[in-house]
Amino acid sequence: MKNVLLQVTKSAGQLLMQMFEQGTKISYKGDYDLVTEADLTVETYIVETLQNHFPDHDFIAEEKDYGLRNSNYCWIIDPLDGTTNFAHGFPWFAVSIALEVSGKLTLGAVYNPYVGEIYYAELGRGAFLNNHRISISKTDQLGQSLLATGFAYDHKDSEVNNYDNFETFQKVAQACRRPGVASLDLASVAAGRFDGFWEMNLKPWDLAAGKLIVEEAGGLVSDFDGQPMALDRGECLATNGHIHLQMLTLLQKGRRLSKPHS
């Protein structure tokens, strides 16, 4: 299944690059939420290819509902993470695919086709970037850390818009970046390029592959209470572990999503 995952992820990325270079049609799912022809075309390619290999598996993807077969195997797919970047010709986007087995993330891949980098992980076997093993950074002071974050599509309307957290971390960290692709932000934490990443209002397909890659690289992923992060919760804090508590302390002072029911 790992070989199939890597093959499909790379092929999907190549398809994205063709459409990026040729241009693609753009429409809106809401006032701000873009969807392109590439999102739909690449998702269809990924799901159909995986279905050919694994017809009894379940599929959760961003653009369409594929129903549930009550399988122990579920593929979680974002065909184009970074749609806004892609639509504007900004070359920072990714394909993200993960496999959950009996509710546990087991395989994950994130591919940035523009720069030719594929991150992947298998549960218990480490994380890799283009076949080279990767690990988290050793930075242990928030003031020396490079952080990443993002903002939801409804940030203009929602009071829980992450602006307060962004201002806080800009003042205490060495610097913050906002590349606009959560899966690549997580993968960059795993590779030691970022020391920490936080965001809210995320979906399972934004998080699944990156979460596994960070953890297999030795990092820590939680919600803003420091509890294990549920993919449908929306809150994500991913760090090298050394600055996790420092970031949690500040995030708990910011505006939050409603807490899950106990």
Select from 61, 74, 49, 35 the least CA-distant residue to 204: 61
CA angle 144, 223, 123 (to 5 degrees): 90
Q: What one-character DSSP code corresponds to residue 143?
A: G
Strand partners, 128: 120, 133
pLDDT tens string 177-222: 999 999 999 999 999 999 999 999 999 999 999 999 999 999 999 9
Q: What one-character DSSP code corresponds to residue 220?
A: E
pLDDT tens string 41-94: 999 999 999 999 999 999 999 889 999 889 999 999 999 999 999 999 999 999
Residue 262 confidence (pLDDT) = 38
pLDDT tens string 94-152: 999 999 999 999 999 999 999 999 999 999 999 999 999 999 999 999 999 999 999 98
Residue 83 confidence (pLDDT) = 93
Question: Class of the 2-133 domain?
Answer: alpha beta
Strand ranges inside 130-194, DSSP E: 132-133, 146-149, 175-177
Q: Exposure of 224 by Cβ count < 10 A (0-12 exposed, 13-18 middle, 19+ buried)?
A: buried
User: Domain boundaries in the chain?
Assistant: 2-133, 142-251
The CATH number corresponding to 142-251 among 3.40.190.80, 3.40.80.10, 3.40.30.10, 2.40.160.40 equals 3.40.190.80
| Mean confidence (pLDDT) of the chain | 93
Q: In angstroms, what is the C-alpha Rg of the chain?
A: 17
> How many CA atoms lie within 13 Å of 153's alpha carbon, on the beta-carbon side?
15
pTM: 0.94
